[in-house]
Amino acid sequence: MEFIELHSPARVSGEHVLVISHSSTALTRGLDHGEPVVLQTDEGELYAAEVIDIGFWPEDTVYTLALGARLPENLARERIAGLDPALHDLALHEIVDLLGELARPQDPDKRG
């Protein structure tokens, strides 16, 4: 899982969506649609996130990330290292992801 450290202010609130450019990261490869990442804000807060859109500009690639739950440092480290069922509590990570999804505002068109 990729780790993205933001070096400029980013406000995580409202719709729980953040747009960042590839050039503002230290990533060595492009991200894929649907790829989970760990995001660290310039204040040091860690979040689970998922790439929900990729835009291509002539000079850069832009990622739209849906922010999930805020992560404690130990869970963020586990995700970055790669979750191993023999070493990590995968159910705990699934619960954290579910809580992050529940915290996002719901699209009124998708409600049942």
Walking along the chain (112 residues) 10 residues at a time, the average pLDDT comes out as: 80 71 90 94 89 93 89 86 74 78 63 46
111: in domain: no
The answer to whether residue 112 sits within a structural domain is no
In a domain, 45, yes or no: yes
Q: What's phi and psi for 101, nearest 5 deg?
A: -65, -40
| b/e map 33-70, b = 16+ CB within 10 Å | eebebbbbbeeeebbbbbbeeeeeeeeebebbbbbbbb
Please give the pLDDT value at position 112: 46
Number of domains, the chain: 1
- Predicted model pTM: 0.77
User: Is residue 72 assigned to a domain?
Assistant: yes
**Domain around 38:** 2-106
Q: Does 65 reside within a domain?
A: yes
Q: The tokens 């450019």 sit on which residue?
A: 21
